[in-house]
Amino acid sequence: MFVALVPPAEAVEHLDAFLEPRRAAAAFRWAGPEQLHVTLAFLAAVEQRRLDDLVERLGRAAARRTAFDTAIAGGGAFPNVGRARVLWAGLDLDDQGRTELDRLATGCRAAANRAGVPVDGQRFRPHVTLARVAHPTEATSWVRLLDGYAGPAWRADRVELVASYLGEGPRGRPRYETVAELDLAS
């Protein structure tokens, strides 16, 4: 499972339209539009008996944060542009939005831990994974392309707890199912 900030359909469609004519230029494993999100907390193993407590605690964590405006914009590569394994898009955030997003991620991770659900992953770096690369690749041209991208603004006003079923989606991708939607304060 994971806790995510999921862009609205208009933002996803805009990004998808930008990427569509460019995808054939590289043999990357591109994420489908239904997979685009910002992971706030990755929860590799959630026991069924902990799910209700997890949802309750995540709801409280979300309600402590205020909704903010953002847009998908720019991009980069992990671990770096010279040896890219993941191509990603960033978020355009003002200072208030950046603070709220960072605190939201921290709160979601703490809520999971308090519910007895271990959180996997490293330091929070907000991004939307666009593609995965089989072998480390030099990706300067892709990052430059993404640097010129700016999607439509949207209001980040809720997070989702999502179950991921590996290999059950189209072309062997994961299939995602939203388990809970949790509102941020207005």
pLDDT (tens digit per residue) in 83-128: 999 999 999 999 999 999 999 999 999 999 999 999 987 789 999 9
Is 89 within 8 Å of 146 (Cβ atoms)? yes
For the residues 50-56, what does the mean pLDDT come to? 96
Q: How many CB atoms lie within 10 A of CB 46?
A: 19
Is 38 within 8 Å of 72 (Cβ atoms)? no
Per-residue pLDDT at 39 exceeds 90: yes
Per-residue pLDDT at 76 exceeds 80: yes
What are the contacts of 167-175 at 24+ separation with CB within 8 A? 169/32, 169/34, 169/35, 170/32, 173/31, 173/32, 173/35, 174/35
Per-residue pLDDT at 136 exceeds 80: yes
116-to-37, 57, 134, 157, 179 alpha-carbon distances in Å: 24, 11, 34, 26, 18
Task: Specify the range with the lowest mean pLDDT, choosing from 34-38, 57-61, 125-129, 175-179.
Answer: 175-179
**What letter does residue 33 receive in the DSSP assignment?**
G
Residues whose CB is less than 8 angstroms from the CB of residue 53 and which lie 6 or more positions away in sequence, other chains included: 115, 116
Mean pLDDT of the chain: 94
- What is the pTM for the complete model shown? 0.92
pLDDT at 175: 80
Per DSSP bridges, beta strands 2-5 and 158-165 are antiparallel
Q: How many CB atoms lie within 10 A of CB 64?
A: 14
44-to-62, 72, 112, 121 alpha-carbon distances in Å: 20, 26, 11, 9
pLDDT at 98: 96
